Structures are given as structure tokens and as C-alpha cells.
Structure 1
Amino acid sequence: MKKKQLWYIIAGLTILNVITLLMLLGKPAILEGKKETVAEVGKESITRQQWLTELEQRYGQETLRDMVDQRVVVQMAEKYGIKLSDDAVERELTIYKAMYSSPGEEPKSEERWKQQIEYSLLLEELLTKDVKVSEDDKKAFYEQNKHLFDVPSSYHLSQIIVETKQEAESAAQELKDGSSFAALAMERSIDEFSANDGGDIGFVTEEDELISPEVITAAKSLKPKEWTEPVKTEDGYAIVYLHEKLAGKSYSFSEVENQIRRQIALEQMDIPVSARAFWNDAEVSWFYGETSKK
């Protein structure tokens, strides 16, 4: 799956969050009445119904299209006997976590990302199911793009940065006494980029130029849910917490052969990566009318 398509997934998740909001708010609107006030500006009120109507006007068609697309892809995959291997999904999830996950991201979001990755892979398989790509072309692509299939070791870290060794030792003692790392980072850390996220800096690699080398070196010796003693850095002193480590891996041709096939096929076809091509096959009808447009 290409980087561009991962950004499509990000956009899709944003829309799905709106879906959730509408679902959560819709039922109370019925129970509590359409005139319930959700905001006031001076003497002017904004009702729940006005709010929901505005949400539908802004996001309704796109949200419904995403819901339809999800179901179309699942049904068409079943129709054409397309299945994904667990290894393929886990590989894409690992790459995403290492390269695109955000600081402060909740653990439960991993399952949502996995669902979106499964959707994207199934869609690519559907779009390219009838396209033949030669063995020579696939191997040539692999040899020319080996770097794309080398995933470096990465570390999901949080950090507390303070100015002096004394401050760092004091923070380390509070951690030993049971204080929350995230709470202490928000209270004590002078790193303006991570303090508000409880010190969370997401996944980083040894090649990451924005992270002090001393931080990475210290993290490599940790097990998950462990933290370091104070570490001297150019910014002061750091205490580093390891959430998760992803071991680096170089994928062989056989492991990524089907991924390469899909990528070459999609480039040859030069079509949008969209489930809309299967709406007629899935006999879709919807609130917004015509479904035949690609």
C-alpha cells in the first residue's frame, strides 16, 4: 500500500469520527426534543436540530458514501473469493505504526487502523484482480525499490525533559514512588512539543534527526513499560519511557510479491482507487440519487 493511500485512510478515519458523532447525538435528539439548546451566543440559541442539520449538510454525503463503500468492498470480496492473509495486514500495520502514527494516539485506535488497512487492501485486490503482471516486472520493481521494503527498528517513546540533573533525579524518584509518567511529563517537562501529550513523542527510529541520539541509545536498553535513569542531552536531562518496540525487518521478494503486483497494476490502470467502480455490481441505491458515476 502506497503512502498516498495511507493518507486516504487518514481522511476516511476523520469521516468515520463524524459518523460516530452523528450516531451518538442522533438518539438524544429524538428523546430530548429538536429544540434542545446546545449553545448560546448572547440572546441567540443554537438548537441540537440546527447543529445536526449543519453536520449533515457538511459531511452527510461523504459520510454515507464511505459507509456504502465499506459494505461494497466486503460484499464484492466475498463474491470474488478474495481474502487477505494475516501477514499482509500485520505488515502494513507495522509500517503505519512505525512511520505514520501520532503522539498520544490511544491504543484502541490500532484496531480502527487495522480495519481501514484491511479495507484498503481488499479494494486494491478487487481493482487489480484481472490484471496480469509478469514475474520479471515484479522482480525488477523489487530490486529497484528495495529500500521501500526495509523497515528500521522503531521505538514508541515518552520523555520528560528538565534543565538540571537535580530536577531529573527528583522526577525519577517520583516515578519510583508511583507517580504517573504522563502526569509528571505534563507538569515538569520543558519540551513544548511533547509535554501536553504526557511526554509522548510517538514512534522514532535511530535515523530520526529530531530526537537526541542519547534518547534513542537509552531507549534501546529498555523493555516495554520501563523508563531510564536521567540521561544527559543537549537540551538538559531526559527520562525516557518505552511503550513499544517494533523490530526492524527487511522483507523478501516472496513476502511482498503480491503488494508489488497490486502497485504495478494500479499504475498501469491509472484509475482512482475507489469502490465506486463496484457500486452497480453491488446493486447500490442511495439517498443522493445516481450511482453509476465512477
Structure 2
Amino acid sequence: MSKKLLLSIIVVLLITNVATMLLWKNDDTNEDIVDDAEIDTNKPVATLGDSEISYQEWMKSLQNNYGKKELKNIIDHEVVRKLAEENNISISEKVIERDIALLTTMQGLTSEADLKELEEKWRKDITYRYQLEALLAKDINVPEAEVQAYYTKYNKQYQFSESLQFSHILVSTMDTAEKAYKELQDGASFSLLAKEYSIDEDTRESGGYLGFNSVHTEFLPSNYFDIAEDLEEYSYSEPFVTSNGVAILYLHKSLPDITFSYEELKPFIRNELALQSANQNLVADPLWKELDIEWVYGE
């Protein structure tokens, strides 16, 4: 994988992780959030014996630690959104789907609902990153010969191959497989049944989880992919015979091939090379001067 593409993926993950930390209050600690309307700002928010912590001290601490960074982040996104709109910069849906697919393969087992929520966050972050890249690069000249040479060398790294996320229960006999299958139909957990019945020592403790697999892999029986063709996502197969025993296959997620021509990748490669030649970091600061921005932290 090219260093530039790998860096782009890491940037998305970092953005996503930061966003997750900033949104901590929406997760398990939700029950501990106090509605602002319930807080008397004239009274201390905490007392420690004879000591008190005032509401104003608390707010100042929050602002000092998180306020400026979070406000700048909001402004950066709005700057990029407005300038992208003014410059008619739109991002190919195909490129966004490719990046979402790459990030999806980096996840472990994720519920359908949780993955949908992640994809929504990723989509916003990916769109922001590519629009920012395009805005920063728009006035930098890059010879087409360089773009073509880069594509020739690295184009395979921009393509995405079909990938399927599997779990399985592998047993020795059809009788055992049918017993496990009946328990599945009665509502038993696939993961727990894999831990109970599976003879695959490499995956049994992880509930039969096989991760994401390319159709070109040599580590799984070929008929796994044949069976998967008839499965919907988040569903399991009937028992079937494999070269290793009798299996029940669970398809978590199916990601299709996403391939690009030179013309489709050309603007994105050009932007990458432009920023690289200008030694320009992927930050929105240089764009602020294009808009009339005033904020509480001054210039």
C-alpha cells in the first residue's frame, strides 16, 4: 500500500477516535449527564469538606481543556463546507464507499446498528478530508505526467477487492451440526454455540470468528464463498460438508469489489501530489483567510 493512502486511512481513524472521545457523553456515561436546566449556577457544583468548586471554575476548566480545540474543529468543518460549495467541490461516492469499506475491514465484530452509526461518522470525516485536500491543492500545479506515473505505480493500492466477514461452527459430524443448527433456530447465540461445539481451535474461543476474507484466500474452504452467495448479511447457513468437517457459516458483512479507472482517480492523486510537493499539512488553517471569521479566541 502506498504511504500516502495508508496515511489517509490513519488520518480518518484518528479523526474518528478523537470524535469518539469528544462524544463520550453519548455512550455508557449517558446516565451521569446532568441537564443544564437542573444546575443552579450560583451554587457550587461540588463540595469537599470546607472547600467548594464553583460552576464558573468548572466551566473555565472545561473551556481551557476542550473549548478552543472543539470550537476550532467546528469552524474548520464549516469553513471547508462553505468553500467546497463555493468551488463546486464534490467527492465521488465511489471513493467514499471505498474508504468506508477499508475502515470496515479494520473493525472486529460489530452489530448492524453500530456499524451503520460508524459509517455515518466515517462518511462525514472522509468527505471533510477529501474536500479539505482539494481546497488546499487547487492552486498548486502538478504535471499530468507525474499523476499518470503515480497511478501506474500505485493504482492497485486504490482498488478494493471483494471481502466477506465470516464466523463458523465447524464440527465432525452432520448429526452434531444439525443439533447446533436446531439450537440456532430456537434462538441460541451463534458465538456461544461455536464455543461449545466447534472443533476449530483457532477460532473457537472467539466464537468462531474468521474476520474479513478475500475470495482469493487459500485459508478457507472454497465452498464457504459459494455458500455465502445465497446468504444475506447477518444470517447463517444450513449445515454443509467441507474439506475440514461439517460447517455452519455466518455472514456478518459482505463488501463488493470497488475498482477505479485512471480518470476516476486522477483528481485525488493530483491533490495528494500537490500537497506533497508543497509540504502542506492537512489542516484547514490556511483557508480561514478566505472567509471573514471572528471567534471568542481572537485572531
Query: TM-score band, normalised by the shorter chain?
Result: 0.7 to 0.9
Q: What is the match of residue 31 of structure 1?
A: 38
1:101, 1:203 within 8 Å by CA — same for their partners in 2? no
Displacement of 1:259: 1.5
d(CA) in 2 for partners of 1:289, 1:66: 15
Q: TM-score, normalised by structure 2?
A: 0.73
2:35 alignment partner, SS class: helix
1:239 alignment partner, SS class: strand
1:148 alignment partner, SS class: helix
Q: TM-score, normalised by structure 1?
A: 0.74
Displacement of 1:156: 2.4
14 and 187 in structure 1: CA distance in 2 versus 1, 3 angstrom threshold: farther
1:12 aligns with 2:15: yes
d(CA) in 1 for partners of 2:65, 2:246: 47
1:120 to 129, 134, 150: 129
Q: Where in structure 1 are there 5+ consecutive unaligned residues?
A: 38-42
| RMSD of aligned Cα (Å) | 4.2
118 and 91 in structure 1: CA distance in 2 versus 1, 3 angstrom threshold: same
- Alpha-carbon displacement from aligned partner over 1:96-123 (angstroms, at most 9, x marks no partner): 33x4334326222111111111111111
Q: What is the match of residue 96 of structure 1?
A: 103
Q: Percent identity?
A: 26
Amino acid at match of 1:246: L
Amino acid at match of 1:100: M
Amino acid at match of 1:62: K
Q: How does 1:68-107 map to 2 (within 5 A)?
A: 68-97=75-104, 99-104=105-110, 106=114, 107=116
1:259 aligns with 2:268: yes
134 and 178 in structure 1: CA distance in 2 versus 1, 3 angstrom threshold: same
1:248 aligns with 2:257: yes
Q: How does 1:204-219 map to 2 (within 5 A)?
A: 204-206=213-215, 212-214=219-221, 217-219=223-225
Q: What is the match of residue 40 of structure 1?
A: none
d(CA) in 2 for partners of 1:140, 1:76: 30
Amino acid at match of 1:224: E
d(CA) in 1 for partners of 2:128, 2:59: 28
Q: How does 1:128-167 map to 2 (within 5 A)?
A: 128-157=137-166, 159-161=167-169, 165=173
1:62 aligns with 2:69: yes
Q: What is the match of residue 295 of structure 2?
A: 286
1:160, 1:188 within 8 Å by CA — same for their partners in 2? no
d(CA) in 1 for partners of 2:246, 2:40: 56
Displacement of 1:75: 1.4
Q: What is the match of residue 111 of structure 1?
A: 120
Length, aligned pairs only: 279
> Which of structures 1 and 2 has the bigger CA Rg?
2
Q: What is the match of residue 212 of structure 2?
A: 203
Displacement of 1:134: 2.3
2:241, 2:247 within 8 Å by CA — same for their partners in 1? yes
32 and 11 in structure 1: CA distance in 2 versus 1, 3 angstrom threshold: same
1:268 aligns with 2:277: yes
d(CA) in 2 for partners of 1:238, 1:26: 47
Q: Where in structure 2 are there 5+ consecutive unaligned residues?
A: none
Displacement of 1:201: 5.5
